[in-house]
Structure 1
Amino acid sequence: MSLTLHYHPLASFCWKPLIALYENGTPFASVIVDLGDQQSRAAFLEIAPSGKMPALRDDARDRTVLESTIVIEYLAMHYPGPVELVPADIDLAIAVRQADRFYDLYVQEPMQKIVGDRLRPEGRTDPFGVEQARDQLRNSYAIIEQEVASRSWAVGDAFTMADCAASPALFYANKVEPFGDKYPAVKRYHDRLLQRPAFIRVIEEAQPYFKLFPYNDG
């Protein structure tokens, strides 16, 4: 098998390429990385010296691809499937990439700030930074509320890379800063994502690890 994804089932940025792979039924092997295990960590650092997941190894093309968005772009280019995650139309592709960046930078990043603060030692937390992150999430929800009110997916009527990014971003963000009743369109969009078979599979595979998530609600 040519493709191997090195990842962790709980890591939100790893969910993005997993969803892409499952959407198109792309054959791949998987290696779960445990950075807390010396042997697993050392093996992964040989592949990705930054220590950041995910990493896609393509033995057939002798390439290692890092960063979730770039992994999906690489798959779309070299291993395309029936779901066109990166549209051929240039303008639409730009819109998809812009939405992908939005969900990573303005939903995932503040969400991870909040989660990371929960994991800090006593006396080393950052309450002000957490409140800033919560403000950013609420602002992002307001933007998404307007954008998805008349759309099926993040960018129009087709599922794309932007939705691969939105799926883990909104799933985890809703755990740390719930949508509530103020953002009904965001909730409906989130519910549609949760019904996507590829996303269902990713969540099911992560289930045994949710007990490690500091905002776990069961």
Structure 2
Amino acid sequence: MILYGHPFSSYTWKALIPLYEKGLDFEFRILDDEHPEHWDQLRSHWVRGQMPVLVDQGQGVYESSIVIEHLDIAYPDTPRMIPDDRAAALRVRLLDRVFDCHLEASFQAAVSEYIPWITETPDVARVERARATLSTIYPWLEAQIPEDGWACGDEFSMADCSGAPALFYADWTQPIPDECRKLKAYRARLLARPSVARCVEGARPYRGYFPLGAPDRD
């Protein structure tokens, strides 16, 4: 298998984490200016040219949630990221969508305002709206996350694969308030998980890329 992505990309993390959890062998091809051929290879599998893209037995698989679904189907003897029980699976998919659509989308909106080739002049109001969305969703997540374990119970799942990068960067953009103690503790558990810690360390050399200024923590 080949995974195309970048170590600092949150959605690349989401694909890397299940690969590490499942102990699968793969080649990681970094997408950057030093490897233009990797971009060409990625686009041959996904016309939008967006990371991450997994190539498994010559087949391109894109969209990080679908990558995880594919890995569960193609490698059934590895730890499952989506439970067999349909009700439990629905809960996992719900949290996965919340992390992607409300945390990821919000911090990405704020960050994008400070990327010169996307926006020449930051829209401060848009940044504040994004931060306000994060402040709104944190208490909702606080009510959903259990005192211990993972997003959907005792088993690490796709919800956690998306929750780890989403909470990592969302907290850098708009810090999780102290009153959301369960959510803060959950984020800490995620960052201590070996598969997630490996992503954190792999991304450490690129922290200067964070447009809002990476905090001196994590």
TM more than 0.5:
yes
Deviations 1:66-121 (A, max 9, x none): 00000000001111344221101111111101110110000000010111112247
For 1:66, the equivalent position in structure 2 comes to 62
Shift of 1:149: 4.1
Match 1:50 to one of 32, 48, 53: 48
For 2:37 and 2:28, the matched residues in 1 are separated by 17
Q: Note the residue ranges of structure 2 that are not aligned, 5 or more in a row.
A: none
Q: How far, CA to CA, are the matches of 2:129 and 2:99 in structure 1?
A: 17
Q: Which amino acid aligns with 1:106?
A: H
2:129 to 132, 142, 149: 132
Identity value in percent: 37
The structure 1 residue matched to 2:74, chosen from 57, 72, 78, is 78
Deviation at 1:6, TM superposition (A): 0.6
Aligned match of 2:24: 26
Indicate whether 1:211 and 2:193 are aligned.
no
Per the alignment, residue 6 of structure 1 pairs with: 4
Instruction: Return the letter of the residue paired with 1:190.
Output: R
Q: Is the 8 A contact 2:146 2:153 kept in 1?
A: no
Superposed CA RMSD in Å reads: 1.8
| Amino acid of the structure 2 residue aligned with 1:162 | A
Equivalent in 96, 99, 105 of residue 109 of structure 1: 105
Q: Render the CA deviation track for 1:30-71: whole Å, top value 9, x for unaligned.
A: 111116864443333223210110000012xx3110000000
Cα distance change on mapping 1:81 and 1:114 into 2, 3 Å: farther
> If the length of structure 1 is used for normalisation, what is the TM-score?
0.91
Consecutive unaligned residues in structure 1, runs of 5 or more: none
Tell me if structure 1 keeps the 8 A contact 2:29–2:38: no
Q: Give CA deviations for 1:119-172 in whole Å, capped at 9, x if unaligned.
A: 247863222221111111011101111111445211122110000000000000
Cα–Cα, structure 1 residues 52 and 36, in superposed 2: closer, same or farther, change >3 Å? farther
* Residues 32, 144 of structure 1: alpha-carbon distance in 2 compared, 3 angstrom cutoff: same
From 13, 16, 38, the equivalent of 1:15 is 13
The corresponding residue for 1:166 is: 163
